[in-house]
């Protein structure tokens, strides 16, 4: 994903600052020393920056968090656990386009489950960044009506306290009766031990020239060159996450979404800072397609979603916030044609002109980002995707090659459109509350 909007205060910027000051502040780093057994490709410096003081994942807390993560009793009807949508054996996702909670297939969520792998390094959590930490993230699904369905934190605490094994564990580890904050702290501790690393690509970077094949090596070159992936998915020693941690509108769902109409509705009803309301709108309503706009209510965030980390991408499909792309070939086809035009399309979305062999090489490279722990599953998953390679709903070779469409710069007779139809989206001022007005007040003149 491509764009120019800066993150509020991303991990890469922190990494630069702290690296420069590390000699002056050794004590805090020593207090939160990274584990010695981090997998290849996981930065010790980044680990120390990403773990808040007091949130270090001890063995006992991790064990408790893992038990809670897999326990369906956290849900209202004992049918859904965190692991239901974030299966540890399958890349910490559920491999469904849209996740299902206590509402089942009759009431699916409006979002695809992002992986927990390397989530500890995210500057914000969820596709729209509505949660600032793993702890805050863990609170919301438990209370969402169609995810785990609990009515309140007090209900959760009462239910879990009544389970003797948990009551005893929390007393022993936290020195007090269980609280909701302690419960999510334990879950977050487990999540902070779920790394993506030790992939063939990591071994390639560390000098093993045979760790990835010639096709993947060509794909790596394309990734940083013609494919322009590194503009948002950069990887180097300073930004090792394959994500810029920013939010971009890349045209997902643009063909089926009236962004202007949705933004007008959201401006009227969204209460800034009301995390529970924003969570329910994101998970349960068609306003989900507004993405980051639900959190910020800024027009340039309409339809923008977070750039995902690419590690273990081969085992965490379907892809995009709505799970609308089934294979990595679909993803490449989407980018190759420059996305789907819409008023807020990120300025970096342009046709790439990749040939089919080049797309194959880039997919081969992405497959080398699979962690050793998922190697066997990754091979199975790539074989499954390869079997779907001839079904390409996102492919438009003529547009990708500049032979037609709004990006038809190479066509002898390029298609022309009224620029206003793909220009900057402006929400009419009469739909925005005046300065000082309370959320929900609208000033439209009737």
First to last CA, the chain: 40
Per-residue pLDDT band for 236 (boundaries 50, 70, 90) equals confident
Per-residue pLDDT band for 130 (boundaries 50, 70, 90) equals very high
User: What's the pLDDT at 407?
Assistant: 54
Per-residue pLDDT, averaged over 93-120, amounts to: 96
The average confidence (pLDDT) of the chain is 87
Cis amide linkage into residue 318, ω under 30° from 0: yes
Q: Work out the angle at residue 420's Cα, subtended by the Cα atoms of residues 416 and 425, and round it to the nearest 5 degrees.
A: 135
Tell me which CATH homologous superfamily contains domain 59-191: Cytochrome c-like domain (1.10.760.10)
User: What's the pLDDT at 24?
Assistant: 39
Contact 125, 136 (CB under 8 A): yes
User: What's the pLDDT at 356?
Assistant: 97
- What's the residue count for the chain? 446
Three-class secondary structure of residue 78 per DSSP: coil
User: What's the pLDDT at 239?
Assistant: 73
Identify the active-site residue in 66, 147, 289, 381.
147
Per-residue pLDDT band for 438 (boundaries 50, 70, 90) equals low
**Range of lowest pLDDT (62-71, 306-315, 339-348, 428-437):** 428-437
Supply the pTM of this predicted model: 0.86
Contact 205, 198 (CB under 8 A): no
pLDDT in tens, 327-345: 999 999 999 999 998 889 9
Task: Report H helices in 121-163.
Answer: 134-143, 153-161
Per-residue pLDDT, averaged over 1-22, amounts to: 41
Per-residue pLDDT band for 168 (boundaries 50, 70, 90) equals very high
Distance CA 115, CA 119 (A): 7
User: What's the pLDDT at 408?
Assistant: 52
Distance CA 200, CA 183 (A): 36
Rg value, the chain, Cα: 23
Per-residue pLDDT, averaged over 289-306, amounts to: 96
H or E segment and range at residue 367: helix 356-367
135 is annotated as an active-site residue:
no
Contact 307, 1 (CB under 8 A): yes
Per-residue pLDDT band for 1 (boundaries 50, 70, 90) equals very low
Residues of the chain with CATH 1.10.760.10: 59-191, 200-257+303-400
Residue 20 scores a pLDDT above 50: no
Share of the chain above pLDDT 70, in %: 84
Higher local confidence (pLDDT), 317 or 444? 317
Tell me which CATH homologous superfamily contains domain 200-257+303-400: Cytochrome c-like domain (1.10.760.10)
Contact 314, 381 (CB under 8 A): yes
H or E segment and range at residue 306: strand 305-306
Share of the chain above pLDDT 90, in %: 77
Per-residue pLDDT, averaged over 187-191, amounts to: 98
Per-residue pLDDT band for 28 (boundaries 50, 70, 90) equals very low
Contact 42, 51 (CB under 8 A): no
Contact 230, 314 (CB under 8 A): no
User: What's the pLDDT at 25?
Assistant: 43
Q: Work out the angle at residue 340's Cα, subtended by the Cα atoms of residues 338 and 342, and round it to the nearest 5 degrees.
A: 115
311 to each of 43, 142, 193, 239, 333, how far by Cα in Å? 14, 27, 15, 13, 20
Quote the DSSP letter at residue 318: S
**Range of lowest pLDDT (234-238, 280-284, 293-297):** 234-238
């Amino acid at each position: 994903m491509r764009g120019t909007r800066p993150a509020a205060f991303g991990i890469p910027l922190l990494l630069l600052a702290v690296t420069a000051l590390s000699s002056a502040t050794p004590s805090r780093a020593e207090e939160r020393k990274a584990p010695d057994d981090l997998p290849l490709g996981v930065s010790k410096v980044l680990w120390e920056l990403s773990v808040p003081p007091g949130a270090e994942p001890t063995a006992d807390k991790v064990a408790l968090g893992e038990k809670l993560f897999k326990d369906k009793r956290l849900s209202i009807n004992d049918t859904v656990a965190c692991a239901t949508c974030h299966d540890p054996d399958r890349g910490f996702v559920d491999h469904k386009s849209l996740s299902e909670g206590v509402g089942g297939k009759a009431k699916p969520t409006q979002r695809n489950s992002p992986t927990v792998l390397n989530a500890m390094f995210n500057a914000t959590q969820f596709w729209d960044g509505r949660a600032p930490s793993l702890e805050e993230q863990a609170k919301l699904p438990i209370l969402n009506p169609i995810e785990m369905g609990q009515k309140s934190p007090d209900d959760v605490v009462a239910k879990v306290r009544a389970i003797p094994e948990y009551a005893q564990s929390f007393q022993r580890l936290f020195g007090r009766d269980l609280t909701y904050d302690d419960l999510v702290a334990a879950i977050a501790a487990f999540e902070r031990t779920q790394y993506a690393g030790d992939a063939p690509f990591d071994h390639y970077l560390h000098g093993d020239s045979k760790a990835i094949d010639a096709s993947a090596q060509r794909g790596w070159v394309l990734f940083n060159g013609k494919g322009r992936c590194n503009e948002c998915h950069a990887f180097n020693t300073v930004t090792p996450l394959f994500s810029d941690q920013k939010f971009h509108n890349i045209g997902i769902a643009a063909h089926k979404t009236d962004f202007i109409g949705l933004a007008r509705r959201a401006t009227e009803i969204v209460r800034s800072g009301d995390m529970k309301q924003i969570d329910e709108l994101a998970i349960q309503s068609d306003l989900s397609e507004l993405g980051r706009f639900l959190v910020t209510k800024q027009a340039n965030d309409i339809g923008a979603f977070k750039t995902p980390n690419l590690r273990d991408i081969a085992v965490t499909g379907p892809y995009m916030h709505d799970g609308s792309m089934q294979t990595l070939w679909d993803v490449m086809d989407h980018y190759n044609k420059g996305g789907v035009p819409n008023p807020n399309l990120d300025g970096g979305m342009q046709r790439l002109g990749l040939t089919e062999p080049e797309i194959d090489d880039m997919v081969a490279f992405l497959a080398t980002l699979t962690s050793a722990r998922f190697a066997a599953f990754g091979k199975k998953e790539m074989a499954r995707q390869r079997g779907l390679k001839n079904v390409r709903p996102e492919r438009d070779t003529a547009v990708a090659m500049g032979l037609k469409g709004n990006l038809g710069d190479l066509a002898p007779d390029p298609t022309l459109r009224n620029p206003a139809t793909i220009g900057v989206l402006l929400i009419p001022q009469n739909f925005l509350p005046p300065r000082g007005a309370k959320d929900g007040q609208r000033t439209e003149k009737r």
